[in-house]
Structure 1
């Protein structure tokens, strides 16, 4: 039995959604302007990719089984992309910014997987 079930992906997506709202609220109520900008950007990307992870569950439900590969890329991207922006906002060394594009590439791979997965939906003639 694998731990990477649809249920666990959805649980992680919900946790990421919760985290994005918390970070966004913090950005709106007390961070200095540059830090607030970094936090808002990170929270926005975290939220949209948490929702994309939920979409993967729907994709799988309608027969696009290949969508099961995308959540790891989306959630990994959240950790790398959003996490590095959060770290920078809280005073991490500027070299941490070098991690951000790796997270962005991870998001792109996840979306490419969903494109591939979508090609498997409704393949039978109507």
Structure 2
């Protein structure tokens, strides 16, 4: 399930990047939209990379995709909807999403502790 969602997430991010870069590069909010798409793409790729970590003993990495997509998609979506908003509600949503994404990175990093102790991979 996570891999399918990550693939769709990446497809949307690439579509936004293509739109901002090719279709309308002079758009006033182009930099914010480009940044949002890059964030979305990076966390979608991190979701896919969790499968690699799980294959080399980091079984706890299976929990990270929920945080990557659960935080990355709302963060990007808020930036897509209102790229230049300074409304406190949008900012609060972004801060919550950033916290969720950072939790995913912490989960992924913590899942790697003790990975190199198995002689099978040395």
Inter-partner Cα distance in structure 2 for 1:62 and 1:124:
10
Match among 77, 88, 92 for residue 82 of structure 2: 88
Question: CA shift at 1:72, angstroms?
Answer: 0.4
Residue 27 in 1 paired to residue 25 in 2?
Answer: no
Inter-partner Cα distance in structure 2 for 1:97 and 1:37:
18
Find the counterpart in structure 2 of residue 107 from structure 1: 101
Residue 38 in 1 paired to residue 32 in 2?
Answer: yes
- What is the root-mean-square deviation of aligned Cα atoms in Å? 1.9
Give unmatched runs, 5+ long, in structure 1.
1-7
Question: CA shift at 1:124, angstroms?
Answer: 2.9
Residue 48 in 1 paired to residue 42 in 2?
Answer: yes
Question: For 1:44-90, what per-residue CA distance to the aligned partner results, in whole angstroms no more than 9, with x for missing partners?
Answer: 0001111100110111111111001100000011222111101113x
Give unmatched runs, 5+ long, in structure 2.
none
Secondary structure of 1:39 counterpart = helix
TM-score normalised over the length of structure 2: 0.85
Find the counterpart in structure 2 of residue 123 from structure 1: 117
Secondary structure of 2:115 counterpart = coil
Q: Which structure 1 residue ranges, 4+ long, deviate > 4 Å from structure 2?
A: none
TM-score normalised over the length of structure 1: 0.83
Residue 15 in 1 paired to residue 5 in 2?
Answer: no
Match among 73, 86, 90 for residue 67 of structure 2: 73
Find the counterpart in structure 2 of residue 3 from structure 1: none
